[in-house]
Amino acid sequence: MKTAPPRNIDEYIAGFPRDVQVILQGIRNTIKKAAPDAEEAIKYQVPTFVLNGNLVHFAAFQKHIGFYPTPSAIQEFKDELCSYESAKGSVQFPLDKPVPFGLIRKIVKFRLKETRKKMAAKKAKK
């Protein structure tokens, strides 16, 4: 029997072992501090922060945390992310290594600037 998808980030985090919950909560708190006006949501069945569109997503897996800030953010921080597995719009933080909360904060701040510019450009077109 399939379990119902989480309705909020609290439910999502509660579905993992305690050690992973601590990491997920740390990432959540880091994002909230970096983007206090962003709203929490579940999109694509994973925690998402939204402000002028999707800001970032994150998710837990068996051996890593997936962090999804968009391809432009991965490109912007490619040097700092070089020791992690990454793809076009995502990076994997292994569960057996310290999570780079400072880097996550910087990436979120970058995404805030990006989304603000995008919104300003949309308003200028009107």
* pLDDT one digit per residue (tens) for the chain, 126 residues: 567 889 999 999 999 999 999 999 999 999 999 999 999 999 999 999 999 899 999 999 999 999 999 999 999 999 999 999 999 999 999 999 999 999 999 999 999 999 988 888 877 776
Contact yes or no for 108/67 (Cβ under 8 A): no
Domain 9-120 belongs to what topology?
Aspartate Aminotransferase, domain 1 (3.90.1150)
Q: What is the residue extent of each domain of the chain?
A: 9-120
Residue 120 burial (CB < 10 Å; 0-12/13-18/19+)? exposed
Q: pTM here? A: 0.92
Half-sphere exposure of 95 (CA within 13 A, CB side): 16
